[in-house]
Amino acid sequence: MITPAVMMLAAVGFVLLVHRDVAEGFSAPPTRVLEHHRLSLALAQPRLPLIVHVQNEDGMDAPYTIYPNSRWGFERAAPKASLTTELHQNNPAPAWLLNIIELAHWVSFPLGFQIAGYLFSNASAIAKVGNLESTFQVFLIMLGILNQVFGGGMAVLMHVYEGWMISPFKNLIVLPSHPTAEKIDAIRIKNFNNAWLRAAAYQMLMTFQSLGLALFSMGVFGIKPWTQILVAGTISISLIGPKEPRLHLSRKIDGYERPVLPLSLSLTVVLVINVIVQLLACIKLFYPAFSSGWPMGLPFLSHVPVELGALLASILPSTLQGAGGGIEGYFAESSFKQWQHLGAFLILLAGFILLRNAFVQMVMVGPSGSSLPALFGWVSQL
């Protein structure tokens, strides 16, 4: 049903779209208006489609030039000069390895969607086992997971730009007005990656990760004043919070200080808070099912105490997801070794798989009546 508010928004949007053309029409000289009218009449006549290619004088627009300049998606660019000349790596980025890295990143999307589908199909059972007040809280959990999956698209975009090859980076923002040939070569994508794109992608990636964690926690603990503050604060600080000061973390590799994790300090604080709260939410949600079903049909786990095993199983999915991202951001993107990039993301994918298994465990075990361990008894009161 179309409401007056929707109609008003549509009208305002239409006015904004045509405002510039209308204003230019009234302010243009009569000859210009007449020429515009003649052009409109001419274009209205039936004819073959008109395709106009406009090129800037310097030829730098080049909208059809891509990197790497290859026909197929599995064809990769030659190793970037910074990997071979600056880091002296031997065969640092074989095409087969980059293809596997790309495949691993894309696999995270169907995995996340499959988890969301499982939650949708078993919402009532999960709400009952998790002592949730309604299936709407299951929806919030699902929405949180989908936010994290969507946030991964920011990293994928960055990697596509880079040709799926991590390498040292340079910031074209600081390029001087009259750069030397050496400095110009430093910002070419075939030589170095883009530091500003990397920072922007990290900021957006962690924005969606933080929001996803906050929504997951709200789904588990319920819509309460403190969870609403958590979600609203996450959104506010992520979008309009101070972009400075920034984290100044680095890792020393071969005598060089390599910057890592290019995030604003405000977003980092928000992310850390949401990580801690979400781990507590995982304990509250998954621990009863794991403690009732321990050792989950795995005989080698029977030697692990139930409380310890169930506790570790509850937080392991999120821990692996975070560890995978942390290893990629801190280790792989400072040593610039492609196999470390792959290993980090495989750890993250393992976290996704175990997260799905945690929800399956809840549905299979059913209501158990098990309580949280004494150390975390207070979590159920949040």
Half-sphere exposure of 111 (CA within 13 A, CB side): 21
Torsion of CA 231, 133, 281, 315, to 10 degrees: -140
- β-partners of residue 264 are 246
**Tell me: the pLDDT tens digits for 121-146?**
999 999 999 999 999 999 999 999 99
Q: Nearest Cα to 256, choosing from 87, 95, 369?
A: 87
- Residue that wins the pLDDT comparison between 42 and 345: 345
- β-partners of residue 253 are 256
Residue 23 has pLDDT above 90, yes or no: no
How many angstroms separate the CA atoms of 313 and 275, rounded?
Answer: 16
Q: Which residues contact 38 (CB under 8 A, 6 or more apart)?
A: none
What pLDDT shows up at residue 9? 59
What pLDDT shows up at residue 34? 44
Residue 293 has pLDDT above 90, yes or no: no
The enclosing H or E element of 258 equals strand 256-260
Average pLDDT value for residue range 274-288: 96
DSSP H stretches of helix in the chain: 4-27, 30-44, 81, 95-121, 123-129, 135-161, 181-186, 195-221, 225-240, 265-293, 306-327, 333-335, 338-365
59 class by beta-carbon count within 10 Å (0-12 exposed, 13-18 middle, 19+ buried): exposed
User: Tokens at residue 169, please?
Assistant: 């980076």
Q: How, if at all, do strands 193-194 and 256-260 pair? A: unpaired
Residue 309 has pLDDT above 80, yes or no: yes
Residue 19 has pLDDT above 80, yes or no: no
Average pLDDT value for residue range 7-23: 52
How many angstroms separate the CA atoms of 104 and 116, rounded?
Answer: 19
**Tell me: the pLDDT tens digits for 73-102?**
999 999 999 999 889 898 899 999 999 999
Q: How confident is the model at residue 16 (pLDDT cuts 50, 70, 90)?
A: low
- β-partners of residue 169 are 193
Please state which of the ranges 152-166, 228-242, 298-312 shows the lowest mean pLDDT: 298-312
User: Tokens at residue 104, please?
Assistant: 């691993």
With vertex at residue 189, the alpha carbon angle to CA 170 and CA 154, rounded to the nearest 5 degrees, is: 80
- Is there a contact between 377 and 307 (Cβ–Cβ < 8 Å)? no
How many angstroms separate the CA atoms of 97 and 342, rounded?
Answer: 8
pTM: predicted TM-score of the whole model, two decimal places: 0.83
Q: How confident is the model at residue 18 (pLDDT cuts 50, 70, 90)?
A: very low
Residue 333 has pLDDT above 80, yes or no: yes
Mean pLDDT of the chain: 87
What pLDDT shows up at residue 284? 94
Please state which of the ranges 52-61, 281-290, 332-341 shows the lowest mean pLDDT: 52-61
